[in-house]
Amino acid sequence: MAALEFANTPISKALEVIRKKIEDDTTLKKRTLLTVDDIMELLEFVLTTTYFMFGGQLYQQKFGTAMGSPISPIVANLYMEDLEQTAINTASEHIKPRFWKRYVDDMLAEVTKGSTRILNNHLNSIDTSGNIQFTSEEMENNSIPFLDTKIVSREDGTIKTVVYKKKTHTNQYLNF
């Protein structure tokens, strides 16, 4: 699991990742008249001119992307995708995950027994900004929580899922 908040996304590194993706897009010219430089200039403007008011005082956000901005989850996802691909591709064979799934900032990975801590350290070495910090949990009693499910490993090698509620769950729901 990685602690990813939009405010933690390193904008300059995210812009590098996005520029490379756009430059590698062979169909871009069929979809827009904008150049890569035009798109990057607009994106950088949107990501670096975030202002907000607090206590009657006007502030400019200096790091990360703005909460509530429609572009923030896209930028964070593209950055995280590149970060995890780099981490997996550079991991030594004995810690490389056999299975890896991510939803926003929650990851589920299958790794060799005893290599969780080493993989976690490797993941944390990839983001040089120091703002993305991976944490990990290991299976207990042949089960592990992931999102709102608990994945249970059976003796025959199959798995089952059950609804999972954290200990802090209050059973309170919005009245819609």
DSSP string, the chain: -EE--GGGS-HHHHHHHHHHHHHT-TTHHHH-S--HHHHHHHHHHHHH--EEEETTEEEE--SS--TT-TTHHHHHHHHHHHHHHHHHHHS-TTT--SEEEEETTEEEEE--TT-HHHHHHHHHHH-TTS--EE-----BTTEEEETTEEEEE-TTS-EEEEE---TT--------
Q: Check whether residue 103 and residue 48 sit in a common domain.
A: yes
Q: Check whether residue 123 and residue 153 sit in a common domain.
A: no
Q: Check whether residue 125 and residue 169 sit in a common domain.
A: no
Q: Check whether residue 105 and residue 146 sit in a common domain.
A: no
- In this predicted structure, what is the pLDDT of residue 166? 84
Range 3-25 average pLDDT: 85
Q: Check whether residue 45 and residue 105 sit in a common domain.
A: yes
Is residue 22 very low, low, confident or very high in pLDDT (cuts 50, 70, 90)? Answer: very high
- In this predicted structure, what is the pLDDT of residue 172? 84
Lowest mean pLDDT among 57-66, 74-83, 90-99: 57-66
Q: Check whether residue 176 and residue 127 sit in a common domain.
A: no
Is residue 25 very low, low, confident or very high in pLDDT (cuts 50, 70, 90)? Answer: very high
Q: Check whether residue 146 and residue 79 sit in a common domain.
A: no
Is residue 52 very low, low, confident or very high in pLDDT (cuts 50, 70, 90)? Answer: confident
Lowest mean pLDDT among 17-26, 33-42, 58-67: 58-67
Domain that holds residue 169: 141-176
- In this predicted structure, what is the pLDDT of residue 85? 93
Residue 112 pLDDT greater than 50, yes or no? yes
Instruction: Count up the domains in the chain and report the number.
Output: 2
Q: Check whether residue 41 and residue 64 sit in a common domain.
A: yes
Q: Check whether residue 165 and residue 89 sit in a common domain.
A: no
Q: Check whether residue 68 and residue 113 sit in a common domain.
A: yes
Residue 5 pLDDT greater than 60, yes or no? no
